Amino acid sequence: MTQVKPMRADARRNYERLLKVAAEAFAEHGEGASLDDIAKRAGVGSGTLYRHFPTRQALLEAVYVDTIEALGDRADELAKELPPGEALAEWLYELCIRTIEVRGLKALLGSAVTDGSNAALTACGTHMKGAAERLVVAAQREGTLRPDIESIEVLRLAHGVSQAAELASGGTRHLRRYLSLLTEGLRSAGEG
């Protein structure tokens, strides 16, 4: 069995800086953002970028995995801070914001929760589904969410809401309204 050596502190910092800068570059320029520019903006050489991420796809996947893991962690934070129904609504808002801001995340998230053909994306989908499941079950127990709603349905609907908000040419401006319309339809019959 081969053990993976932990990264040195400087290598870890470079890796994290590359992820942060790449996420910003992909948000600004889409998936075709210049890798040389990403390396330069991160303050490292191209060789360092390629040592961590041998291909553009590897970098894209790492950015998306990092983003999705952060969103999953955020679900747990919100669950501790807010009542279940509010935590779910706020998490859906933050999920939609991120899918709009990080171009390509929406398509990757869509495939992560449907086809399972990529191990990294499947892991992301599993993490995201788990986060959604915890929030959905808590809201159902609270009585603010219909009992017949499945977490995967909520994720797919949020995916559609982010697309609708982008089509409205206001980007995120209409997002709260669209999510409100969605969550009203998901409410338990006893909620008013």
**What string of DSSP letters covers the chain?**
-PPPPPPPHHHHHHHHHHHHHHHHHHHHHGGG--HHHHHHHHTS-HHHHHHH-SSHHHHHHHHHHHHHHHHHHHHHHHHHHS-HHHHHHHHHHHHHHHHHHSTTHHHHHHHHTTT--SHHHHHHHHHHHHHHHHHHHHHHHHTSS-TT--HHHHHHHHHHHHHHHHHTTSTTTTHHHHHHHHHHHHS-TT--
- Check whether residue 175 and residue 130 sit in a common domain: yes
Q: Range of 24's domain?
A: 8-54
In a domain, 27, yes or no: yes
- Check whether residue 74 and residue 42 sit in a common domain: no
Q: Which of 54, 71, 89 is the last residue of a domain?
A: 54
Q: How many domains does the chain have?
A: 2
- Check whether residue 121 and residue 168 sit in a common domain: yes
- Check whether residue 68 and residue 154 sit in a common domain: yes
In a domain, 107, yes or no: yes
Render pLDDT for 18-41 as a digit per residue (tens, 0 to 9). 999 998 888 788 778 899 999 999
CATH number at residue 171: 1.10.357.10
Render pLDDT for 150-183 as a digit per residue (tens, 0 to 9). 999 999 898 888 888 878 766 677 888 888 888 8
pLDDT of residue 88: 96
CATH number at residue 15: 1.10.10.60
Its pTM surpasses 0.95: no
In a domain, 159, yes or no: yes
